Amino acid sequence: MLMDHDFNVEDIEKSVKQTLDYCQENFGVYTFDYVRIAEVPAHWPFGGFAHPGVISMVEDRLYLSDVSNEETFNVVSKRVIHEVAHQWWGHTLSAKPVAGGSLFVEGFAKYTEAVILDKMYGKRDLYTLSENARSRYFRGRAFEGYIESPVYKVESQGYIAYGKALTVMLALRDLIGENQVNTVLRTITDRHRSVNKMDANSIELLEEIYKRTPTEQHILVDDWFKRVITYDLGIEESSYTELANGTYEITAKVKASRFETLDSGETKQISIDEPIKIGVFTTHPSAVKDDSSILYYSSNQFNTEMTEIKIIVKEKPRYISIDPFGTRSDENLVDNLMKM
């Protein structure tokens, strides 16, 4: 490493350590007793590539990125977490090179990025990461020349592996909790850990998810992983009044509808009946660092296209949002947030 590249070393070391700690605790032991990060010249034709025990990253994308402004999304951490996570997703656990395989490699690496960035920098990083994943998905599917695959059958389509796969993993995390999601991933990793061939598959993954999801929610798991469904979510109206005891009562009209893309390419509206998070904040959700700016963040059940909700919060609300941290594939995010 060249001397003048030192200014990101602290971020890199912190991210490597956090990722190794989190992954070992949740997904089992690390196969190697070292991680080396190798800086390779900018003219090499790839961005980052993880070999067993060694992570190579192109110099100008890693050491030369300026992340000294802490208010900006930490791109260096994101890349390091992603590449370290590949020591589990792709090296410790290898998927069958069949439909669904890249969910295990890129989808799980994106999921690991999200949970660790959430812990290191707060929900603002989750906001940016999930927004990027959704726009990548919608850009990619617009140019899809074939029938779009559901997540469990993703092949080499980057817009699904890096895009929608993250969205559905975050939805699953909301539905059953991070511990349960991680137990699913760990169970599969442990089963295949000592097997020296690529044989994990997405049917097996779904079976483990069903075991840890209430039966009545299996249909939602299928909707997210096995069908091509998009959402149109939005806050249509909102207002609040101060109550006598000093709290604030918010009334909001929330739009929630779903559309399925069929094998024919045709899209039709379908029914909705699922829990989706509503958030009320004192700051824009893209700036949420910790719980102090979150007044309310809970799942509400939506089963009609338009629902009126009432929420009581302790401080004056400034923003209300549906699905603020990106767990549903919704193309138009502008109406998901309303300034109050």
- Contact residues toward Zn ion (CB under 5 A) are 106, 109
Whichever of 32 and 46 has its CB closer to Zn ion, that residue is 46
The tokens for 326 are: 């990106």
Q: What's the rounded Cα separation, in Å, for the pair 8 and 1?
A: 11
Q: How far is the CB of 82 from Zn ion (least distance, A)?
A: 5
Q: What's the rounded Cα separation, in Å, for the pair 263 and 149?
A: 9
Whichever of 11 and 106 has its CB closer to Zn ion, that residue is 106
The tokens for 157 are: 């389509």
Whichever of 103 and 313 has its CB closer to Zn ion, that residue is 103
Q: How far is the CB of 274 from Zn ion (least distance, A)?
A: 29
* DSSP-assigned letter for residue 148: P
Q: Which residue is nearest to Zn ion (CB)?
A: 109
Give the CA dihedral 207, 211, 212, 215, nearest 10 degrees: 100
Q: How far is the CB of 189 from Zn ion (least distance, A)?
A: 17
Q: How far is the CB of 115 from Zn ion (least distance, A)?
A: 16
Cα 173 from chain centroid? 9
Q: How far is the CB of 51 from Zn ion (least distance, A)?
A: 13
Whichever of 106 and 274 has its CB closer to Zn ion, that residue is 106
CB 138 within 8 A of CB 231: no
Q: What's the rounded Cα separation, in Å, for the pair 7 and 317?
A: 39
Whichever of 35 and 109 has its CB closer to Zn ion, that residue is 109
Q: How far is the CB of 100 from Zn ion (least distance, A)?
A: 16
Residue 209 CB contacts under 8 Å (≥ 6 apart), including other chains: 172, 176, 184, 221, 225
Whichever of 12 and 109 has its CB closer to Zn ion, that residue is 109
Q: What's the rounded Cα separation, in Å, for the pair 13 and 136?
A: 29
Residue 165: closest CA among 114, 95, 125, 214: 114
Whichever of 89 and 248 has its CB closer to Zn ion, that residue is 89
Q: How far is the CB of 166 from Zn ion (least distance, A)?
A: 12
Q: What's the rounded Cα separation, in Å, for the pair 330 and 194?
A: 40
